[in-house]
Structure 1
Amino acid sequence: MAMAARVRSGVTGFTEALITDSLSTQRSTVAPALICSNFTNIEQSRNFASASAPKEPKIKVPVAMFGGSGNYASALYIAAAKAKALDKVESELLDFVAATSKASTFSQFMKDLAVPADTRVKAINEICAQAKFSEVTKNFLVVLADNGRLRHVDTIAKRFSDLTMAHRGEVKAIVTTVIPLPAEEEKELKETLREILGKGKTVKLEQKIDPSILGGLVVEFGQKVFDMSIKTRARQMERFLRDPINFDA
């Protein structure tokens, strides 16, 4: 994917700079226009989630989220929705997370709060320019860098994806099996879940392999967990056999 390649290129370039040069503690000049006025700090980020421009329809997040990561994800959702760029911002954010997760030096750089804020901001601006990210994504990452929140970007990205999926009427279901589900069984499972969820919902199935469940499957979606694994059934049978038998009953 071209976008992912550009992100990796930008991250790799900056990682090399980190290795060859010592981190500068001098403050760099960042044009105010680079940072969205509603993203300059976490407090303004929270205000942004509830504020709307005059005469504009109020945008609401499809799912209420709480905590620091939830606040940031909600603020980003509203900014992206206003810019009509939800899918683009989601793709860029996921590309950024995927690329940085493969660059151990840069990953450590993001987590190190001893790095001056301006150094983090400069790095993010360079990476976003290299990857040709949209203004919404760039401004948001700049805010995370400025506020020392880059270390939470993966969690924020996941919560943002939860919001965009809810917006599209998608529900993520995780199915755990011993071996990959055959295509026909995967199709049947999706149809069953659609019937449970009702019309207007699209099921996005994620498969996980876990030999420890011994057989059967475990399905998770929403707040529900259906454990039909052999491992769980064996434990239930074991508890049943250990219970004392009341012959008088």
Structure 2
Amino acid sequence: MALCGRIRSSGLPLLQKFLKSDLISAHGSGVQRSLLCPALSFSEFSRNYATASVAKEGKVKVPLVLFGGAGNYASALYIAAVKANALDTVESEILDFLEASKRSDNFSQFMKNLSVSRGVRVKALTAICSETKFSDVTKNFLVVLAETGRLRNLESIAKKFLDLTMAHKGEVRAVVTTVIPLPTEEEKELKETLQDIIGHGKKVKLEQKIDPSILGGLVVEFSQKVFDMSIKTRSQQMERFLRDPISFGNP
């Protein structure tokens, strides 16, 4: 299951159409003023999302401890979504937005371009969220990212946020990397094996990734563990072994 595989079918086409339009150019010059909402309070949104107070965390327990800037933003979004009883909605909207933005070259450039003024970024995101009827939690969060110049980090934030939502549901994501897609039977066997390892108190969600560079075999990652059984790694290990001098010891 890919990160963006959990996309709502209802909202995505509209969002894609919106981002592919001329509403937003690479430099933000195409924002239509008629779609803009009233001005937003930067400081208020920053307080709500960029930092999570100890008091808030005391009310909503974050299921995983995340580190770094992306982890802090993901945790703050999780807290806000849970407090609003909108965790599934926010998850779906964030993934919709990320998937649609990837399909728009102009908007992808817009998200990464820090030379675009803060005001233009905020107006653009406000317009998008209004047009697509995003929830207040999602809208406010995306506006904060626009304000702080962190839209370019949305994918890493979304991945960590998804880790939190999966932990909330008792799910564990396992990523298996292969050269070609696993046959259905092998995928089922691998999932059952991982389920035995992780335990039956949690549910395994298997995500497949294709990477021809590993040459063959597979790499499995879950719960911060990596099992590398790829031909590439085994070949490298064999190469190092053959290059090491052989000591026969004393006769």
Q: So what's the TM-score if we normalise by structure 2?
A: 0.83
Letter in 1 for 2:93: E
Distance of 2:149 and 2:130 partners within structure 1: 20
Query: What is the CA distance between 1:169 and its match in structure 2?
Result: 1.4
1:8 aligned residue (16, 40, 50): 16
Stretches of structure 1 lacking an aligned partner (at least 5 in a row): none
* Match in the other structure for 1:129: 130
Change (3 A) 1:198 1:12: same
- The question of whether the paired residues in 1 share the 8 Å contact of 2:214 and 2:230 is answered with yes
| Comparing 188-197 and 152-161, the one that deviates more | 152-161
SS in 1 for 2:201: coil
* Match in the other structure for 1:45: 49
Change (3 A) 1:116 1:235: closer
- The question of whether the paired residues in 2 share the 8 Å contact of 1:36 and 1:139 is answered with no
For residues 183-211 of structure 1, the C-alpha deviation after alignment (integer angstroms, 9 at most, x for no partner) is 11111111110111112211111112233
- The question of whether the paired residues in 1 share the 8 Å contact of 2:27 and 2:110 is answered with no
What is the aligned-residue RMSD (CA, Å)?
2.8
Q: So what's the TM-score if we normalise by structure 1?
A: 0.84
Letter in 1 for 2:116: V
SS in 1 for 2:152: helix
* Match in the other structure for 2:25: 18
Distance of 2:231 and 2:121 partners within structure 1: 49
| Comparing 66-75 and 92-101, the one that deviates more | 66-75
Distance of 2:123 and 2:56 partners within structure 1: 29
In percent, how many aligned pairs have the same letter?
Answer: 58
1:232-243 to 2 correspondences below 5 Å: 232-242=233-243, 243=245
Q: How many residues are matched?
A: 239
Query: What is the CA distance between 1:19 and its match in structure 2?
Result: 7.4
SS in 2 for 1:64: coil
For residues 131-173 of structure 1, the C-alpha deviation after alignment (integer angstroms, 9 at most, x for no partner) is 1111110111111112222121121111111111111111111
Query: What is the CA distance between 1:212 and its match in structure 2?
Result: 3.3
Q: Does 1:193 align with 2:222?
A: no
Change (3 A) 1:107 1:216: closer
Letter in 2 for 1:200: G
Letter in 1 for 2:224: Q
- The question of whether the paired residues in 1 share the 8 Å contact of 2:24 and 2:106 is answered with no
Stretches of structure 2 lacking an aligned partner (at least 5 in a row): 1-8
Distance of 2:201 and 2:113 partners within structure 1: 44
